[in-house]
Every structure is written in structure tokens, then in C-alpha cells.
A and B are shown apart, each in its own frame.
Chain A
Amino acid sequence: MTASPFDRLRLRLAEVNDLGKAATLLFWDQRVMMPPGGGAARAEALATVSRLTQERFIDGEIGRLLDELRSIEESSDYDSFEASLIRVTRRAYEKAMRVPPELVGELRRAAALGLAAWGRAKEQSDFAQLRPHLEALLELRQRYIACFDPPDEPYDVLLDDYEPHMKTAEVREIFDQLKEELRRLIDEIGEAGGVDDSFLTGEFEPAKQRELSHEILRAFGYSDDEWRLDETAHPFMTSPGAGDIRLTTNYRPDDLASLFATMHEFGHGVYEWGLDRAFARTPLATGVSLGVHESQSRTWENLVGRSRSFWRWFYPRVQAVFEPQLGSVDEEAFYRAVNKVQPSLIRIDADEVTYNLHIILRFELEQDLIEGRLAVKDLPEAWNAGMERYFRLDVPDDARGVLQDMHWAAGSFGYFPTYALGNVMSVQIWERALEDLGDLDERFEQGEFGDLRDWLHKHLYSLGAKFTPQETIERVAGSRIDAKPYVRYLREKLAPQVA
């Protein structure tokens, strides 16, 4: 073999990437296409493919190549493709080396089975069906944590998979700040009296919602050649390869939440879509962290999709399509309704403010579970108590409580905080984009989103995972992660509701 060590590394990584993409597709298929009977066989296939991916990644060859490439990494410009690829691979390799492939496979299988059980448990609002799966997953997660050097807090290990280099203590500090500011804001709004959003509940024919979703997506930059949009109970985005971006949304017949879910998933999708194609089949070809990913979904869902100027463009369309429901509702009223702040049971339906408290509740419960302070059997009760504490709400059943989200059933503990971190970062990036682009309102009012997309593409999406999340956010926004701009944004936007 005459290929250079760097080329050999790329070849190896391409293979690992391909296996990862195969697993991605199996996962997408399971949720969008697979007949339910296929669940058991799919769990096995996912377990095997994940285990083989891990085996291939840590089988020694990559380690040897990384050693050989140390001098190239040191002599190359930090920002270069070569140095970045070696650096990013090294970190991933050093982490992966510690985890036996069997454990990776077991986690994947347990996750697939957990998800299948979650679907049934949620449908029947029966936590007991999910409980053994959660217990097994937590046990596997403990084994996973034990693979690493003792961290400051066990939760650090889990968090690092989703938000590399971030520590639990940092998250806690940001969340404490958010908690205080947001609870005050919620109280102020609560005292000021309600916004009328009754017209957002009614009959909204799914076929028409689908049409509207596609219209928004096309204006944002979606094309049939590279994207698809399907329907699932729980919306998500995944990309099984370059040029192949898949979104899902959920058209509920009695509200318009699908439009926001669609814009949210578009934000995830456009990040993956905008990755530098030269990174294809390398570990750089992905969003840098879940938090930064979420900053983009929230940008498109909230900063764009709940803005005044967006609705100046699109409300006439929505109003025309749903004339009987919205004919007498003016644009201002609609805008205020889709921004109404009100404590509610379901995270994904929550407004921009209360959303974060849903996350903080999950963040706290996860730590309690991982640290052994809370048993799985007591989780529903702890959940309901938390909902009472944060929102003064009674949870009527587990389907609308502890069973509402799929994450834990898939073994994804440590994932939730990235949602709120995404909210925080979204505004940091947004403010920077506005500095460069000037006021975007006029463009949004015309249905033009290309300038924003191109700016984000150039400054963020194209970077992929070259840098750490912190480096990335500093390069894009010019500052470290900081909750202040986000809180300021919420206060300004919601001032009318407070007043």
C-alpha cells in the first residue's frame, strides 16, 4: 500500500462513516417506514451495525495512523482540513477506545427495544411497560460511564457525547441564571393577563397543513432533489448521506403546531445540508454539537418562524387556506397567539419561555437517576412533583407527563440540556448575523430568507465539526456561551405581554 497515512486514515474513516450512515438509515426507516412487526429484527441489525462501526473505529489501525500523523497535525495550520481531521478523530478515538464494542451494540439494541416499548407505553399511558427498559438502559449507561476516568460528576460523561467539552457544572450555572430570570418573566406575564389564542385550536385539515409546510420549506431553500419531508408522531431530522436530508413533522388535525415543527426540523436539516461537501465521509461532516444544532432549529423555528415579519409574509396564506377558522383573526392577533407564554404540559408545544423550564426539569431528574438518588419506579411521581413546582400544573396522566418524550427510552440521558443551550446560543448567533446583514425584517416580509441562510451557511454550517463547540460559537458569535442575550431577546419580544 503506497497511500499516505493521511489517505489511509481517510479511507478508514470513510468506511466507519458509511457504517454509521447505514445505521442512520435503519433508524430513519424504523420510524418512518418499517411495519411494526419488523422491530425485533431491526433491533438486531442496528446492534450489529453499531458494534461493527465501533469495532472498525477502534481496531488499532486508526490508532497507529493517528500516531504516525502526530507530526503532520502539529506542523499544519490549526484551521487546515488535515490538522482538524486528525485532531477531531483523535479525540473521538480516545473516547471510543474506552468503550467495548459489545456495550455499544447492547446500548443500541436496548435503545431500539426501548423505543418500541415507549411507543406502546405512551399510547396506553402505561409507564409500567417502559420501566424495565429504562432500568436496563440506565444500567448500561452506568457501565458506559464506568469506561471513563472518574469525572467530576458522572453526568459529565453523558453530556460530553452531545456537547463535547461542556461540564455539568457549567450547564447548571447557565440554567440557574435562566431559571431565575424566566420564572420572574413568567410571573410578570401571568399577572398581566392572557393573550387570546383560542383560534389556534380547531379543525385544520392535515392535507392543507402539509401544503403550507412545503411552501415554507421551499421559501427557506428545500428542494425535492436533496430533501424529503415525512410524517411521524415525534418529528426529527436525519441525514443518511450528503445530498440526502430528511425531515419529519406531525400534522395534528386540531392545531397548527406542524408548521413550527417543520421549521424546527428545517433548521437541523439546513445545518447538515450546508456542511462543506469536501468533508463528506469524515467525522467533520456533521454539526459540531447538539447544542449548536439546536441553536439552528430554534433559529428557524423561533427567531425566524415566530417573528413579526415572517408572519407578515406568510399569514395571508395561512388565513386564506384556513378561512373559516382564521378569517376574522388579524395578523397581529395571530402573531401574538403563536407567541403566547403559558405554562403547559408538553415540552414540544411549549412557548419560547416556558420551554426552558421543561428542559431544566428533565436535566435535574436525569442527574437524580444517574446519581442513584431517584429510582425509575418513582420517576412518574418525581416528574409530576416537578411540573407542580415549576408550572403549578397537575399532570393528568403519564402520556402527557413522563412518557411524552422518546429520549430516555432510547437511552439518551444527557441530551435534554442541549435543547436549552441551543436556545441560548441561537440568539448569540442571531445578533451577530443581524450586525452583518442589517435588518432582515423587510426581506422576511417578502418571503426572502436566502441572505440569512447564506450567512449561516458561510459562518457556521460549512465549518462542520472542525472546531470544538466553544471555538465554533466564539468564531461565529464572537463570544463564549452566554445566557444574557437570550434573556434580553425574550424580554424585548414579550414586553407587550408583560405590559
Chain B
Amino acid sequence: MTVAVDSPPLERLKAILAELADLRHAESIADWDSRVSMPPEGAQARADVLATLTRITHERFVSDEVGELLDALEVLDDETDAALVRVTRREWERARRVPSDLAAELSHAAGVAVAAWDKAKAASDFASFSPHLERQLELKQRYIACFPETDTPYDVLLDEYEEGTTTAEVQQIFARLKEELVPLIARATESTELTGPFAVEQQQRANRLVLEAFGYDPTKWRIDETPHPFAAKPGLDDIRLTTHTDAGELTSLFSTMHEFGHGVYEFDVDARLARTPLASGTSSAIHESQSRLWENLVGRSRGFWRWFYPQLQPLFPDALGSIDEDAFVRSISAIRPGLIRGDADEATYGLHIILRFELEQELLAGSVAIRDLPEIWNARMKEYLGVDVPDDAHGVLQDMHWSIGLFGYFPTYQLGNVISVQIWERARAELGDLEEQFARGEFSQLREWLREQIYKHGSIYPPRELLQRVTGSALDPEPYLEYLRTKFA
């Protein structure tokens, strides 16, 4: 377990990294539990636990010892070891900039603020949340100040989730998307609205059926209900998805497929990378490309529904009995400008993200004040999507991200959409007609291809390099736009 000081540097580095992975495992459980199983009064103590874990993890990681070991490991032949050193150095250099106390404060504030957000959202009471948001922003400013060489503060945040991508690039891609999406949405056509009720238990049965066909193994995975779905991997062979099932709508299945995409990426990382920084997906956008791929490119495809609609329909005889497969598929693929990002269709989704991306930059620059945030949010929702926001719970309070300090994270969702189609096109070029397989309930060929191309590598390749290796091209919004134009023609 503990490695002697005279062991080779690589072995010593790996021992330290394994220990840090174990601490993150504990953090991951503490976080998952606080969202799935913790009684509400446990929040304060949990915030303390998370802050301590973060601080200790941070302290141990930024030690001089890690730096010295990295220096001793400049040249390595083995590709995986070289990647390990590269990724560790990148993280170490970032982490060294941030005092352990600030890291702990960020974690502590997140624990407290997420509980406040929960309550604020339930009561649609932005005022009770705004001091927490203010605190988060202040901490983020202090965090950014640890990187004084940056011209664009937002780059510091973005780089944490999406190595090698700059704010300027995102702005450029988003400008291109906005240009096409706004007119596309204007062409929205009528389609059947699915009206429930959809009994929660039946929806959960449907979720299980789909997950099992995708390759969910109950001895290594679990799925729970949370208001805001997410996926977590505390450690090897322990994948946890959550979904949100509401009898009023049939959205739980899509969030389940979405989280499956995150889960399967983590699950299929090569086991030999366990307890190293390479043991998870390489970036937020690549991760999101996989959740969107399974949710949208698979889960809203014709082939998928040819297989699954005959199973879904009998689960809801009242709600779906008179809706045929074709009408159903059109309905779940319709453009319907709405209030909630998590429920948005493929076309409007991007505008929800662009709105958040803009506001985050403005908040950081101080050009939007927190107290004005709800009003500005509502005005832009009207402008971009033509919808009126009835209350903050359906507006500025809908997402938890800002409460846990995730600024700079939202754009990776939309980059994920863009990347998902780039990867999808490549998969189709190599594997032929996937929809025919989907129509038979077969998804293993796609999953295997993705495992081989993407999942098993974990973080060995930086995101842009991985994209290049898999698709042969750089980040490019055109395939995604083409996909949308075709789909919504």
C-alpha cells in the first residue's frame, strides 16, 4: 500500500495518485449521497466532510513531492505512463496555483449553496438564493485571480472542463449555431403533444428495459430518482445513474438514456487505468457527446422506436393507445420552444446553453448584477425562444450548476451536441446502417465501436486529439447543423 521512498518514481507517483483517487471516491459518494439519500438536516455536516476531503486531497496533490516525481519522469516510452504524467502535470500545475483553503472554501460553499438552491427552487424564491450565488461568484473571482496571466477570465474556467478550448472558439461556434438555430426554430411545425398520465412505475419499467438492452448490468450499476438527473462513478464497476420520473410527462426515459451515455463511457474505461487520473472521460464535452449520442442519436432515432415503441405503447394503453409509431416519433422529435433546458428538444437546446454562456460571462465581468439576473434571464428567454417565464423556478433557478460553482461548464453541453454528430457520422461510415440493428433491439456493435474508439482510453488522449483520432477532423459545427436541417426539414 504505502510505497517506500526508494521505489522508482513512477511507482511512487502511482501510489500517491491511487490514494488521491480513493479520496475522490469518498468525495463522490458524499456528493452522490447528498443528492440521493441524505436526510436534509445532514447538509451542514456533509458540507464540512466534503470541504475536508477536498482540502486534504488538494494538499496532498500540490505537494512538492508530486512535482519532484513529475520532474523525474520527463521521458517515458509507455504511452499510458506518458499520458499519466502529462495529465497529472497539467492538473498539478493548475492545482498549485490554488491555495488549499480556497479549494476547501469552494467545496464548502457548494455544499451549503446546493441545499439553499434546492429550497429556493422549491419555493421559486430567487432572493433566498442570491447571497449564495454572490458568494460563489466571489470565490470564482478569487479562483480566476490565481491565474493572472490569462487575458480572458472565462478561459480559466472553461479550461478546467475542456482542455484546449478557448472562450473565443466557443463564441465563434455558438455564433454560427445561433445564426442557423433561430430561423430553424421559427419553422417549428405542429405535432401531437403527448399527454399523460404516465404512471411512474411503468416509466421506470420502460427505463429498465432500455437500459438492459443497452448493456446495463445490475451487479455493477444502479439507478435512482433525483430531481436533477446525473451520473457518477465512485470507483471501478460502480456506476450510478439517476433519472427524474414525473407522471405528467414521458421525459424520464430520455434522461435515463442520457445518463446511460455518461455511465457507459465511465464503465468501459480500461480497468488498468483504475485509481489513476486517466480513469475517467477525457473532458466534459466528450462526455456530453456520449450522453447526447445515446439520448438523441440512438434514443430518438427511427430504428430505436421501431424496436421499442411496441413495448412502450402497451405500458401506457390510455395515453398512447391511439398514437401510432410514426406520430410518436414525430412528437418526441418536434421543435417546441420551452422553459426548461433539461426538457428541451434538439433544436432549441442550443439556445438555452447560449443564454447561460452569455450570462456567465456577463456575471463574471460584472456587467450583469445578481439582483437583475432573473429579469435579464426572462427577457432573453423571450428574445431567443419566444417564451414567457412564469416564475424563477422555471427560469433562472432551474439548474443546480451555479449553486455548486460550475461556471464555464454549460458550453460543454452544446459542444457535446456538436461532437456527438461528428462521432456519429464516423460510426455510421464504419458500421453501416445502425438503425436496422436498433430496430432489432441490438446496440452492442455501436457500443463496442465506441468502447474501442473512445471509452477504453479514458483520459489518455486530450479531448481535441481524441476527436481528431476518431473523426479525422477538428471541432466542427457543420455536421451537427446538417443533421438538424435534415431531421427538421
User: CB within 8 Å of B: which residues of A?
Assistant: 14-15, 18-19, 21-23, 25-26, 29, 32-38, 40-42, 44-45, 47-49, 51-52, 56, 102, 105-106, 109, 224-228, 240-246, 280-281
Contacts and interface: CB of A to CB of B under 8 A. Distances in A.
Nearest to A36: B219
B218 to A, nearest CB: 7
B275 to A, nearest CB: 7
B45 A280 contact: yes
B30 A22 contact: yes
Report the 10 A-B pairs with minimum CB-CB distance, sorted nearest first.
Answer: A241-B45, A41-B235, A38-B238, A244-B42, A243-B41, A37-B237, A37-B220, A48-B22, A18-B52, A45-B25
Given A18-B51, A44-B275, 17 more contacts: A18-B48, A22-B26, A22-B52, A25-B26, A35-B237, A35-B240, A38-B234, A40-B237, A44-B235, A45-B235, A48-B22, A51-B1, A52-B56, A102-B1, A226-B39, A227-B39, A281-B45
B323 interface: no
B1 A18 contact: no
Nearest to A41: B235
Interface of B is mostly: helix
B40 interface: yes
A19 B274 CA distance: 22
A21 B49 contact: yes
Nearest to B221: A35
B2 interface: yes
Interface of B: 1-2, 18-19, 22-23, 25-27, 29-30, 33, 36-46, 48-49, 51-53, 55-56, 217-222, 234-240, 274-275
B18 A15 contact: no
Contact of B1 (A22, A36, A106, A228): A106
Contacts of B49: 18, 21-22, 25, 240-241
Given A15-B52, A49-B22, A33 B37 contact: yes
B219 A35 contact: yes
A52 B23 contact: yes
B473 to A, nearest CB: 36
A226 B41 contact: yes
A33 B237 CA distance: 13
A84 to B, nearest CB: 21
A38 B217 CA distance: 12
Given A33-B37, A49-B26, A226-B39, A18 B44 contact: no
A26 B32 CA distance: 11
Contacts of A22: 26-27, 29-30, 49, 52-53
A44 B22 contact: yes
A174 to B, nearest CB: 36
Nearest to A101: B2
A49 B23 contact: yes
A42 B41 CA distance: 26
B39 A228 contact: yes
A464 to B, nearest CB: 15
A14 B19 CA distance: 21
A40 B39 contact: no
A105 B22 CA distance: 12
A243 B23 CA distance: 23
A243 B22 contact: no
A220 to B, nearest CB: 16
Most A CB within 10 A of own CB, among B30, B39, B40, B217: B39
